[in-house]
């Protein structure tokens, strides 16, 4: 179990680092496009590539943000109830979130598959095969679904989720 835990934590961290690299890529694309415009050159497809990088950054960051406590959780009800009911409500919330995430992964996979099968390309100047940026989005969604499943199982079997406390979750004065 220790090896699995280490792998999952490594996966979440690598996903967060990849999201940060995507943000750097967006910055680079914007700066290069500005420089090209100032020099009278054209950088075709830069806005499209920046959009792909933004989608990739968002989806790759989800799992890491979840485990770091950076997602917004409305915990007013959780803070008002006892520990037993709080645990049940947390299980219910994680179960719903996990089901939705895996549902998204299923249809995301179909989306990527059909884009690949029919050789769907972007409408912009870049003419990118859309299954490539969609695959990165799907990869991030899979990691989020794994993270939600990981937290749900931890909550069921150990009694607490693995989300770091002290982030945005603390909504009460104390």
How far is it, in rounded angstroms, from Cα 32 to Cα 19?
20
36-63: per-residue pLDDT in tens?
999 999 888 888 999 999 999 999 999 9
Residue 100 lies in a domain: yes
Residue 94 lies in a domain: yes
Residues of the chain with pLDDT > 90: what percent? Answer: 67
Residue 109 lies in a domain: yes
For 25, half-sphere exposure in the C-beta direction (CA atoms, 13 angstrom radius) is: 18
pLDDT at 117: 96
Residues 48, 22, 133: CA angle, nearest 5 degrees: 50
Residue 146 lies in a domain: yes
Number of domains into which the chain is organized = 1
Which DSSP state fits 94?
H
Give the mean pLDDT of 3-32: 95
Which DSSP state fits 1?
-
107-159: per-residue pLDDT in tens?
999 999 999 999 999 888 888 899 999 999 999 999 999 999 999 999 999 88
Q: Which domain holds residue 42?
A: 2-158
């Amino acid at each position: 179990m220790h090896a699995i835990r280490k792998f999952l934590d490594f996966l979440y961290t690598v996903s967060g680092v990849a999201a940060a690299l995507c943000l750097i890529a967006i910055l680079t694309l914007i700066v290069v496009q500005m420089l090209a415009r100032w020099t009278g050159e054209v950088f075709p497809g830069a806005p499209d590539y920046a959009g792909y990088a933004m989608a990739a950054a968002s989806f790759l960051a989800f799992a890491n943000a979840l485990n770091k406590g950076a997602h917004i959780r409305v915990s007013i009800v959780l803070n008002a109830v006892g520990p037993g009911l709080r645990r049940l409500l947390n299980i219910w919330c994680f179960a719903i979130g996990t089901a939705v995430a895996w549902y998204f992964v299923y249809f995301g996979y179909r989306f990527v598959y059909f884009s690949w099968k029919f050789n769907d390309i972007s409408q912009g100047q870049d003419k990118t095969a859309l299954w490539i940026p969609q695959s990165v989005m799907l990869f991030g969604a899979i990691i989020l679904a794994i993270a939600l499943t990981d937290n749900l199982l931890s909550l069921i079997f150990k009694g607490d989720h693995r989300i770091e406390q002290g982030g945005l979750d603390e909504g009460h004065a104390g």
